[in-house]
Amino acid sequence: MIKRIVIGSNRTTPVSVLETDSVFILNKGITLSTTATTILATGTATARDFYINGTVLSASGYAFQFGTTAVADSKSEFVVSKSGKVSGKDYGLKIDSGSLELTNHGTVGARLTTITAAGTATHLVNTGLIRSSAGIGVASSGSNAVVTNHGTTHAALHAMQLSGASVLLTNNGELRSDKASAIVSSGKAAILTNHGTATAYGTTIASSGANAKITNDGAVISTNGGAILAMGAVAIVTNSGTITALKNAITLTGDDGKITNSGLIKASGYAIAVSADNVIITNNKTITAGGGIKVAGVGETMTNYGTVTRYARFPGNDRLFGCEQGEPAQ
């Protein structure tokens, strides 16, 4: 039998949702406000669903705590509706059990980390606002996480911090960091796709895991640093949108990588800076940069079918070469 917990009037005491087959509903216009964790749903129970149509406030600790990392498939969902709001003075949501379907259509905010997800295969969809005033927007450490942003994720530090393997991140909205990066990924085989706008004060997209795929057909903007940094081996960076950076637009330091530009790259530093071996660079459209393209390594191949505003240099032989259309730079 399903246990229903419906909050239909304002409340200032915490709510525990600890049993399997439970449904928690906070009605529209109702405020659940506590001094510590507001909704406690830790433990191994599965099939627990949460529907936030009102306001959840926590003066300290977390607004919502869910599960344990011992559970791989929680069979649960947490939904914040357009009228819903979850706010933690310190932290927002802490998700430990795996496979939670987390959907935000409203507002989820915190002073420090807004959403922390340690469980495997967490699915997060945001069409509303995720906001951290002094910390990280989303910190996901579980493997196989799927994060899709259609709305706005705005943080003082990283908007998205992803450390699990095989993470799939898609941005169709806005990712913004006031002081750090829009996306930081350290796990292997991450797929990071930007269709929207990613803006940061520092490096906008930074990936350190091997076999990462970074694709942009939107806008990647760094107001004070580099736009894309790929440090892992066999990274693939593909741009058909716009990349703008105060420093280097794309920096690649892992061997056997590939960079393809079919859009616009604008940078005050280098458009592409490579410090690695066996990298393939192809430009099909427009590069405008103070330093053009810089390559340091062996076994590189570079072909230009578009326009590059500067020459590329291979340090070591002190030779500049032009990039004529259709010709490899050797």
Helix, strand, or coil here: 3? Answer: strand
Q: Which pLDDT score, from 0 to 100, does residue 327 have?
A: 42
Burial of residue 320, with CB atoms counted within 10 A of its CB: 0-12 exposed, 13-18 middle, 19 or more buried: exposed
- For residue 18, pLDDT over 70 is answered with yes
> Rg (Cα) of the chain, in Å, rounded?
22
Q: Which two tokens stand for residue 257?
A: 């990588």
What tens digit of pLDDT does each residue of 59-81 get? Answer: 999 999 999 999 999 999 999 99
Among 198, 197, 149, 185, CA closest to 170? 149
pLDDT tens digits, one per residue of 19-39: 999 999 999 999 999 999 999
**Cβ neighbourhood burial of 326 (10 Å; 0-12, 13-18, 19+):** exposed
Q: How confident is the model at residue 214 (pLDDT cuts 50, 70, 90)?
A: very high
Smallest CA-to-CA distance from 256 within 282, 236, 272 is with 236
- Return d(Cα 178, Cα 219) in angstroms, integer: 17
What residue type is assigned to position 96 of the chain?
D
pLDDT band at 1, cuts 50/70/90? Answer: confident
Q: How far is CA 294 from CA 68, 256, 268, 303, in A?
A: 47, 16, 13, 14
